[in-house]
Amino acid sequence: MPTYDIEFTDPSTSRCQCCGALTVRLTRFVTRDGSAFAVYYASYSNNHPEQELAMLISLGDWSDESDPSRRSAFLCRVRATEPYEVMLGDASTSVWRDVTVMGRLLTRDEARAHPDKATAFEVLDEAIVQDAPLEGFLHRVRCGDAAAPLEYAFGLPDEVHALGDDRETRAAIDRNFVSLDGKRYFVRCLLPLPVEGYSPWCVGLWVEVSSMDFARARLAWDDEQSYSNLRFSGILANDVGAALNVSVPIGEHVTVVVHAPDKLPSVTSGETGPVAEVMRRAWPKGEFETFAIGRGFL
């Protein structure tokens, strides 16, 4: 099997003045086994009535000084079924109809009969795997709201994650609870961050707690009345600051409460400290969108 690598460039975005829908456009350069092989454009909107991802995939000669006449461009429309569904379209009717660098814009019938059709689909499959914004868009559509940013979630406390294969012998890991060496205890929680123009964006993380609070949380977890009254303190067990470029260091003391019976316990903000500051200051909309799009959250 050939090895594909994708070079990522900064996305461009625009907003509909009527409804405020965010449209994202991407340009990607693809190498195969180390040689320039293809270029694709991709576009998606969080308010498209059919919730489709559009891609224009150009195959042919992408070597230096090559001529566009030696390339052919396939328009692919991707629907977020499971697995996703790909349909070929008429490239001359797409948003890239005036682009010349991609080569000949194939009609649907030409694309279906083209000898490189299977290769175009192969590049598309690799793009969905490697290109986080594309995979994230399809996932958000499947979740029912493409305009709602996906949560960022730490899979494990940092120290437990760093154990590698030793986790099997040293850690007891459940979906919402982790113990390490039978001496340290962690509970999965949410850190809600305010974002301009969006509902609070939640980060799933782990809080290290006392053995007593760990046992109390486990007992309350599946009892609605006890869970709604659950409250405990602990320290952040993930380096949120490094992951999200915010001023929230690992080891910071926090208080955790339950706000809704169907939600994880949430970190609350005190009056002072880095957690309080990051929960008080709204993330500017443009900065957040640039951050979130690049990582496939939006």
Shared-domain flag, residues 173 and 130: no
Q: Residue for token digits 């006890």?
A: 226
Looking at the structure, tell me whether residues 211 and 260 fall in a common domain.
Answer: yes
**Cβ-count burial of 264 within 10 angstroms (0-12 exposed, 13-18 middle, 19+ buried)?**
middle
Q: Is 250 exposed, middle or buried (0-12, 13-18, 19+ CB in 10 A)?
A: middle
What the block records as the tokens of 187 is 């509970």
Question: At how many degrees (to 10) do helices 117-130 and 132-143 cross?
Answer: 80
> In the 8-state DSSP scheme, what is residue 289?
H
Residues 168 and 105 in one domain: no
Domain identity same for 244 and 135: no
pLDDT at res. 243? 82
Q: Note whether 192 and 288 are same-domain residues.
A: yes
Bridge partners of 192, per DSSP, are 202
Whether residues 129 and 62 fall in one domain = yes
**Per the structure block, which two tokens stand in for 222?**
């599946």
Omega of the bond prior to 83 within 30 degrees of 0, cis?
A: yes
No. of helices (H) and no. of strands (E), the chain: 10, 16
pLDDT of residue 175: 94
Look at the pTM and tell me if it is higher than 0.75. Answer: yes
Residue type, 97: R
Would you state the pLDDT for residue 117? Answer: 97
φ/ψ bin of 182: left (φ > 0), alpha (ψ from -120 to 50), beta (otherwise): left
Candidates 41, 56, 54, 55; CA nearest to 9 is: 41
Greatest distance between any 2 Cα atoms in the chain: 71
Q: What is the DSSP letter of 120?
A: H
Letter string b/e over residues 192-223, b meaning 16 or more CB atoms within 10 A of that residue's CB: bbbbeebeebbbebbbbbeeebbebbeebeee
**170 and 285, same domain (yes or no):** yes
| 86 and 192 part of one domain | no
Verify that 70 and 97 share a domain, yes or no. Answer: yes
- What's residue 109's pLDDT? 98
Number of domains into which the chain is organized? 2
Query: Which of 143, 178, 206 corresponds to the end of one domain?
Result: 143
User: Of 93, 125, 143, which marks where a domain is finished?
Assistant: 143
Residues in the chain, pLDDT under 50: none
pLDDT of 241: 82
Domain that holds residue 178: 152-294
Nearest to 254 by CA among 217, 219, 207, 292: 207
Boundary (domain end) residue, out of 124, 143, 162: 143
The predicted pLDDT at position 270 comes to 64
| Same domain, residue pair 33 and 109 | yes
